[in-house]
Structure 1
Amino acid sequence: MIGTSMFDELYEIHHHYSIYKKMKYSRNQMKIIIDSIIEQLYGYYITGKFNGIMNVRAKVVERIKIEQIDEDLNILTALNSLLRVYGDVFSKSYSDHKENYVKFIESELRELSLRLAEHSLNSNDSYAIRLRRML
């Protein structure tokens, strides 16, 4: 689904934000991490070539319609919410992203992080357990 290193990154993002109320990573670093998580989830849930965020969102919506396993549906729904705001948060054309960025960390990224950490496939992953306990 996603690698252990991504659980560690998610923990660091949420932990740093919860303590300091500011971001640990630059917007570009955060985009790289989020893109990696999106690609890994795309590879796990969807067959075919990864080709752009908007195309990914369309494929995720299609998969949501047919997914029958609740914990997978929860992840796909959280991923869809994250993808819905992705453009606003990481757009290069808009210079003041702080409000969108903060909401993204507190809402969409937190929800996806929690759903990933709660998934039964990650029940023995020490980084997922650490993330789940913190959230």
Structure 2
Amino acid sequence: MKVVNCTKCNEEYAIDLNKPEEWYCPYCDNLYSITTDKLSVEKLQEHLLPYSKEMVQKIKDEKMQLVTADEFVKLHKESLTAIRENDKLQEQLNTAKKALTEITNIPESDNYFDEEERLSCIKEAAEKALAAIGGNDESLDN
């Protein structure tokens, strides 16, 4: 199988390389022509350069589908975006955990802090965490 773009309507669809009689676009019935895909063939040859002859033969025999980085990104853009968002949320969560740990480690009123200094330390740790995770630190100004 190979994903192609129709030269007439530009819609993307899959073709079975072993069944050229079925290379019609399902959207406009335009016949896909391998000659219109000459650049892809040239690109494929470029992509195969790093592989040994044995590996190229294995790719052909097992009908492996090679995907370029650009094609991979195009096909998996949504999941890559979700992964990036998840990483960002995890980083924010870790920052919040660190701030809460710092706040819980601030000693209660004793010889080292008066209550005002203690509250100031708590507020400072919370503001740093909110700034790092993109929160609104103005809400702490009350």
Q: Per the shorter chain, which TM-score range?
A: under 0.3
Which has more radius of gyration?
2
More strand by share: 2
More helix by share: 1
Structure possessing the higher relative contact order (Cα contacts under 8 Å, 6 or more residues apart): 1
Normalising by structure 2, what TM-score? 0.27
